[in-house]
Amino acid sequence: MHYIIEGGKKLSGQVTLSGNKNSVLPCMAAALLTEDEIVLSNVPDITDVDVFTEIFKKLGIGIKRKKDKIYIKAKKILETELPDELVKKLRASILLAGPIFARKRKVSFTFPGGDKIGKRSIDIHLQGFKSLGAIISKLSDVYFISKAKKNPIKKIRIFLGEASVTATENLILASVLSESKITIRNAATEPHVYDLCKLLNQMGAKINGVGTNSLKISGVKKLKGAEFRVSDDHINFGTYAIASAITNSKLKIICDKNTDLEPVIEALGKFGIKFDWENNGFLVFSERIVCSEKIVTNIWPGFPTDLMSSTIVLASQAEGSTLCHDWMFEKRMEFVKNLIKMGADISIIDSSKVFVKGKSNLSGHDFESSDLRSGMALVLAALIAKGVSTINNAELIERGYEDVAGSLSSLGANIKMS
Ligand code: EPU
């Protein structure tokens, strides 16, 4: 699958944010913790959700989709072995280990797949499971995790070596249905972790400290059904804001007022992008894109790594120079070689830092998208490039962005998918 984009069109109109990919997946995983029905709304139409749905069906779990809602009923979980070929399609598949472990006392899986943006170890997950009293073994490339037979440990403290998002979520999912009191310190605080905790508390879990990096969980015996709206995608918000600025357009981004967008608005605001709230969304525009001197990825509420690639495209259109630094994933910056081919003036300092000088005129090219976020960044670059660009491997982009060609076309871009 590929996108063919002719650059140079101004955008106008409005776009509605879809639900957060990295929130809907852990929320779907939470549904495995109860026999009752969980109904999730604002579910994005993306292929990562389709892969999770396939895995659920293989585990014998009832799941159906109607428009933006997903209905999940895990009356029974028939399998404790996660299907290898599907697990390898996305990193988030590891999130199913926590709830299956909690409900069935055992689970097995192979190393999860996903974007090739760095080493992406799972040691913090495994260490956390051990602290919860699990026995872990590995045979060829399959991990086996099971609950020890002896009495459960009453009080457990887990300190995460890094504030890993999926490790935090996995350990929350493994802890809420238990007989222990569990403290997780240095927990990740991303909006998706917040969503997961909110849903679980609605299901009857007892999680204190939600939204902070110190979570106190009192395990409960049973969880019940719930209806929950997945929060809007803050990365998509940043992506459309950048699309608006670089095409010198004014867009309205319709979103829920409660979506936590502050860290994104603060960082993009430094480039001169303006955000005005009007009734049901933000009017986004910029009179002049200026450089931001330095932009550094951080854990939430810092600047999100998932927006770094698109921000480099923004920096290439700013007056002046911006240092872009992403220490989290050592391969995040590899895609800039494609922007350089298009005419961007970027010096690669090392695997985590690039120095971007604006403003460059870009020209169209043919590319292979290598991961979800850098693929979307190339789409943005193609929107302003002179001539036609082809972005192959668009499947990777469709993993996390809903209807890219349809949404951008409706705003006036010349983009086709085939
Ligand atoms: N890390 C370890 N050991 C672990 C886990 C992580 O050393 O056991 C390190 C990683 O190597 C990395 C850092 O911790 O340096 C952060 O990794 P993290 O575990 O937080 O990343 P993740 O949980 O695998 C999630 C998102 C990513 C997003 C990161 C950071 C999901 C499904 N994925 O990944 O999203 O980049 O957090 O915010 O929630 C994306 O959506 O495109 C994406 C890659």
| Spatial separation of the C-alpha atoms in residues 389 and 382, rounded to whole Å | 6
Whether ligand 1 lies within 6 angstroms of the CB of 118 is answered as yes
66: helix, strand or coil: strand
Catalytic residues: 115
Pocket test for ligand 1, best of 23, 166, 298, 374 (most atoms within 8 A of CB): 166
Domain identity same for 204 and 239? no
Whether ligand 1 lies within 6 angstroms of the CB of 328 is answered as yes
Tell me, what's the pLDDT at 115? 80
Domain identity same for 385 and 244? yes
Half-sphere CA count of 399, side-chain side, radius 13 A: 25
Per-residue pLDDT of the chain in tens (418 residues, 90 and over written 9): 999 999 999 999 999 999 999 999 999 999 999 999 999 999 999 999 999 999 999 999 999 999 999 999 999 999 999 999 999 999 999 999 999 999 999 999 999 988 888 888 999 999 999 999 999 999 988 999 999 877 788 999 999 999 999 999 999 999 999 999 999 999 999 999 999 999 999 999 999 999 999 999 999 999 999 999 999 999 999 999 999 999 999 999 999 999 999 999 999 999 999 999 999 999 999 999 999 889 999 999 999 999 999 999 999 999 999 999 999 999 999 999 999 999 999 999 999 999 999 999 999 999 999 899 999 999 999 999 999 999 999 999 999 999 999 999 999 999 999 9
Residue 303 CA: distances (Å) to CA of 263, 342, 395:
6, 26, 26
Half-sphere CA count of 359, side-chain side, radius 13 A: 14
List the structure tokens of 290. Answer: 């200026």
Q: Are residues 295 and 311 in contact, defined by beta-carbon separation less than 8 angstroms?
A: yes
Q: Which protein residue has the closest C-alpha to ligand 1 atom 28?
A: 306
- Write down which residue in 229, 247, 270 finishes a domain: 229
Q: Within 10 Å of residue 293's Cβ, how many Cβ atoms?
A: 10
Q: What are the φ and ψ backbone dihedral angles of 277, each rounded to 5 degrees?
A: -75, 130
Q: Which domain holds residue 187?
A: 21-229
Q: Within 10 Å of residue 225's Cβ, how many Cβ atoms?
A: 16
Tell me, what's the pLDDT at 260? 95
Domain identity same for 100 and 33? yes
List the structure tokens of 61. Answer: 């779990």
Domain identity same for 167 and 188? yes
Domain identity same for 236 and 199? no
Domain identity same for 332 and 189? no
Pocket test for ligand 1, best of 125, 131, 162, 397 (most atoms within 8 A of CB): 162
List the structure tokens of 289. Answer: 């894109």
Sign of CA dihedral 280, 306, 18, 370: positive
- C-alpha 170 – ligand 1 centre gap (Å): 12
Domain identity same for 395 and 275? yes
Whether ligand 1 lies within 6 angstroms of the CB of 164 is answered as yes
Domain identity same for 335 and 203? no
Domain identity same for 365 and 386? yes
Report the domain count for the chain: 2
Domain identity same for 324 and 372? yes
Tell me, what's the pLDDT at 109? 96
Question: Which pTM was predicted?
Answer: 0.97
Tell me, what's the pLDDT at 152? 82
Pocket test for ligand 1, best of 27, 121, 164 (most atoms within 8 A of CB): 164
Question: What CATH number is given to the structural domain containing 213?
Answer: 3.65.10.10
- Write down which residue in 177, 201, 229 finishes a domain: 229
Tell me, what's the pLDDT at 120? 84
Tell me, what's the pLDDT at 400? 94
List the structure tokens of 70. Answer: 């997903």
Domain identity same for 36 and 118? yes
- Write down which residue in 188, 211, 229 finishes a domain: 229
- C-alpha 109 – ligand 1 centre gap (Å): 18
With tokens 């779990």, the residue in question is 61
Kindly state the helix (H) or strand (E) to which residue 216 belongs, with its residue range: strand 214-218
Strand 320-325 relative to strand 293-296: parallel, antiparallel, unpaired?
A: parallel
Q: Which of 154, 155, 61, 133 is nearest to 100 (CA)?
A: 61
Q: Are residues 397 and 373 in contact, defined by beta-carbon separation less than 8 angstroms?
A: no
Domain identity same for 57 and 197? yes
Residues 6+ apart with CB under 8 A from 126: 136, 143, 145
| Spatial separation of the C-alpha atoms in residues 27 and 140, rounded to whole Å | 31
Sign of CA dihedral 271, 272, 273, 277: positive
Residue 285 CA: distances (Å) to CA of 10, 57, 274, 276, 335:
12, 44, 5, 9, 27
Instruction: Using the atom order of ligand 1, give the atom closest to the CA of residue 95.
Output: 32
